[in-house]
């Protein structure tokens, strides 16, 4: 192991430059419209700040780690998209710093710095929807922190590090449950590190590690039980979450994985080639043999966390980014070793290689990262989903409802009640669970209908976008059959936003909408409750 006490100033400078550039991009794009995952976390954060959070008020399969994080940043910076994006960047920087310190235990200082620089830059990539705050980004920091602290504990012989490392993994699980799959890597890695360094290994260290892993979840369970909502908490985060992970077929999974690999090649070909060079270096260079096991551990743990449920959505691949970044750094270092003799020349070549890869990626993503207007960025990345129009829709909801009124959103758009500063009439802020093929789907639909009818929301928003429902041919359609009659009986149409193309939305008033000869495939309709007679 290389001494972890002395860092070459050039290595820290290289990482610092990458971190500053990533910060500039993040701040430049901090006011992008919220997408739906961010909307859920923001809505949950507001419930927490209002003292009203429960799994009845917000039916989500996710543990409340990101919601609590958003709540903390909202309390400091205000309840805005910018505050959410600042939280994202703080955690991404934390992940890069943790990788910098962790990688130092098995590669040189310059290679660790280049890996961390690669990570902090790749975290902004369009390939991973990196400008938007997803749970994976918030889970990755405590995962890498837990790995680093556990390695430190082994190398220093301090058992307290195992407790701290386990606690970090417990926090990671609160952010995203699949992060728990990375915890065994810490134990295995610590055991191998102890053997390699000659440090005594104490199996008794595993007990506090496991206990600390479970502590954050146990505290949340106690919180939910004390508030009388444990049954809903368990039903959402355990019972339903278990069924959610079995929804995807193998054929769909392979197709999704192939699509993501094509996207990586389209946007980050240089980094992909550098990663391939790193894998060749690991296989061909004898001096890198000690790095193989740590690298495989990072890769396997990240791949396991990414693969839960076999959905392979873009942002799920954040978990494999540390292995990807380490491979890229090793690729740069291998190219340098193959082409130069002096240490100074090798350092310069490796640094330039990583910088060139970052420039290639930035150039290919320049429109999203630097040029296009915020609404245009979101339309391009997410069409036909209504994220770019959500603020205008929320403003309309505010006009037709009072501060103490509720809004019912028939669609998976929790950003709308958050932006409108209104409570949702139903805890089902996502329609996805209602459309999935599990035994409780029909029960969930009946509950959502009952909650909406009981709440008598002042505003009703219907989202006619397939990605907001993900209905299958076998889905129960009760709520879709109920909605038209309910809307005609209780509400009047106010306005409709037609989602025309990745560059355009078109608004219609009620009369103009009714005169259309043919209804467009993607639109959002906003209704106001009729006055009592």
Q: Which two tokens stand for residue 242?
A: 């278990």
- Over residues 219-244, the mean pLDDT reads 87
Task: Provide the pLDDT for residue 11.
Answer: 86
Q: What is the mean pLDDT of residues 406-413?
A: 97
> Above 70 in pLDDT, residue 282?
yes
Q: Write out pLDDT tens, residues 55-112.
A: 999 999 999 999 999 999 999 999 999 999 999 999 999 999 999 999 988 888 899 9
The predicted structure's pLDDT at residue 52: 94
Q: Which of 120-124, 267-271, 387-391 has the lowest mean pLDDT?
A: 267-271
Q: Which two tokens stand for residue 224?
A: 């939910």
pLDDT of residue 201: 57
Q: What is the pLDDT of residue 187?
A: 72
Task: Tell me phi and psi for residue 424, to 5 degrees.
Answer: -75, 140
pLDDT, mean over the chain: 89
Least confident range from 44-48, 288-292, 463-467: namely 288-292
Residue 206 has what pLDDT?
A: 76
| Residue located via tokens 């993503």 | 365
What band does 4 get if pLDDT is binned at 50, 70 and 90?
A: very low
Kindly report which listed range (147-156, 177-186, 468-477) carries the lowest average pLDDT score.
147-156
The 3-class secondary structure across 297-351, one letter per residue, is HHHHHHHHHHHHHHCCCHHHHHHHHHHHHHHHHHHHHHHHHHHCCCHHHHHHHHH
The predicted structure's pLDDT at residue 205: 67
* Spatial strand order in the sheet of 459-464: 423-424, 406-410, 459-464, 523-529, 491-501, 504-509
What pLDDT is recorded for position 267? 81
Instruction: For residues 467-478, give the mean pLDDT.
Output: 91
Closest CA to 526 of 375, 380, 383, 413: 413
pLDDT of res. 203:
60
- Residue of higher predicted confidence among 438 and 350: 350
Residue 387 reports pLDDT greater than 80: yes
More confident residue, 151 or 174: 174
User: What confidence category does residue 264 fall into, taking pLDDT thresholds of 50, 70 and 90?
Assistant: confident
Which pLDDT value is given to residue 218? Answer: 93
Place of tokens 């205000």: 78
Mean pLDDT, range 461-467, rounded to an integer: 97
Alpha helices in 202-309 (DSSP H): 206-226, 230-234, 241-244, 250-267, 269-284, 289-307
pLDDT grade for 38, boundaries at 50, 70 and 90: very high
Residue 19 pLDDT grade (very low, low, confident, very high; cuts 50, 70, 90): very high
Choose the weakest-confidence range: 176-180, 238-242, 437-441: 238-242
Residue-level pLDDT at 251: 66
Q: Evaluate if residue 242 carries a pLDDT over 90.
A: no
Answer yes or no: is pLDDT of 2 > 60. Answer: no
What is the rounded average pLDDT of the residues 239-268? 73
Identify the pLDDT of residue 472: 86
What's this model's pTM, rounded to 2 decimal places? Answer: 0.92
pLDDT tier at 517, thresholds 50, 70, 90: confident
More confident residue, 34 or 195: 34
Separation of alpha carbons 500 and 200, rounded Å: 65
Q: What pLDDT score does 127 carry?
A: 87
Asked whether residue 188 carries a pLDDT value surpassing 60, the answer given is yes
Q: How far apart are the first and last CA of the chain?
A: 79
40-65 pLDDT, tens digit per residue, is 999 999 999 999 999 999 999 999 99
Beta bridge partners of 491: 529
pLDDT score of 509: 95
Provide the sign of the torsion angle of the four alpha carbons 280, 283, 287, 289, taken in this order.
Answer: positive
- Average pLDDT estimate for 422-436: 95
Q: Give the separation between CA 411 and CA 419, rounded to whole angstroms.
A: 15
Q: Is the pLDDT of residue 174 over 90?
A: yes
Percent with pLDDT over 70 in the chain: 93
513 pLDDT band (50/70/90 cuts)?
very high
């Amino acid at each position: 192991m290389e001494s972890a006490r002395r860092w070459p100033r050039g290595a820290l400078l290289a990482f610092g430059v990458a971190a500053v550039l990533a910060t500039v991009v993040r701040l430049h794009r901090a006011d992008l419209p919220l997408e739906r995952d961010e909307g859920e976390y923001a809505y949950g954060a507001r419930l927490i700040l209002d003292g009203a959070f429960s799994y009845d008020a917000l039916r989500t399969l996710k543990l409340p780690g990101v919601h609590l994080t958003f709540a903390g940043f909202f309390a400091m910076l205000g309840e805005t998209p910018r505050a959410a994006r600042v939280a994202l960047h703080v955690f991404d920087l934390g992940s890069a710093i943790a990788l910098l310190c962790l990688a130092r235990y098995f590669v040189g200082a310059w290679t660790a710095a280049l890996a961390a620089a690669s990570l902090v830059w790749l975290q902004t990539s369009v390939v991973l929807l990196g400008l938007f705050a997803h749970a994976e980004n918030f889970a990755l920091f405590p995962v890498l922190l837990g790995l680093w602290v556990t390695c430190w504990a082994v190398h220093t012989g301090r058992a307290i590090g195992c407790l701290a490392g386990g606690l970090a993994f417990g926090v990671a699980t609160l952010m995203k449950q699949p992060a728990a799959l990375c915890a065994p890597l810490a134990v295995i890695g610590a055991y191998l590190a102890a053997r390699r360094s000659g440090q005594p290994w104490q199996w008794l260290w595993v007990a506090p590690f496991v206990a600390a892993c479970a502590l954050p979840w146990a505290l949340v369970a106690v919180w939910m039980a004390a508030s009388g909502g444990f049954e809903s908490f368990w039903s959402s985060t355990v019972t339903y979450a278990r069924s959610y992970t079995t929804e995807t077929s193998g054929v769909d999974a392979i197709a999704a994985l192939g699509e993501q690999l094509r996207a990586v090649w389209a946007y980050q070909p240089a980094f992909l080639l550098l990663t391939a060079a790193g894998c060749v270096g690991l296989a061909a260079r004898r001096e890198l043999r000690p790095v193989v096991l740590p690298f495989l551990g990072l890769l396997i743990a990240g791949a396991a966390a990414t693969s839960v449920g076999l959905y392979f959505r873009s942002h799920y691949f954040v978990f494999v980014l540390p292995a990807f970044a380490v491979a890229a750094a090793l690729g740069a270092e291998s190219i340098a070793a193959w082409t130069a003799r002096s240490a100074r020349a090798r350092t310069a070549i490796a640094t330039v290689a990583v910088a060139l890869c970052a420039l290639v990626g930035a150039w290919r993503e320049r429109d999203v990262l630097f040029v296009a207007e915020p609404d245009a960025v979101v339309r391009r990345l997410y069409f036909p989903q209504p994220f770019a129009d959500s603020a205008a829709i929320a403003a309309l909801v505010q006009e037709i409802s009072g501060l103490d009124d509720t809004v019912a959103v028939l669609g998976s758009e929790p950003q709308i009640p958050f932006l409108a500063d209104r409570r949702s009439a139903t805890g089902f802020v996502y329609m996805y669970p209602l459309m999935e093929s599990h035994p409780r789907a029909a029960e969930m639909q009946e509950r959502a209908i009952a909650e909406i009818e009981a709440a008598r929301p002042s505003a009703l928003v219907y989202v006619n976008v397939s990605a907001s429902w993900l209905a299958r041919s076998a889905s129960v359609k009760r709520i879709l059959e109920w909605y038209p009659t309910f809307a005609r009986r209780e509400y009047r149409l106010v306005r409709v936003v037609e989602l025309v193309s990745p560059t355009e939305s078109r608004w219609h008033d009620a009369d103009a909408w009714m005169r259309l000869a043919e209804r467009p495939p993607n639109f959002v309709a906003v209704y106001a409750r009729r006055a009592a007679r």
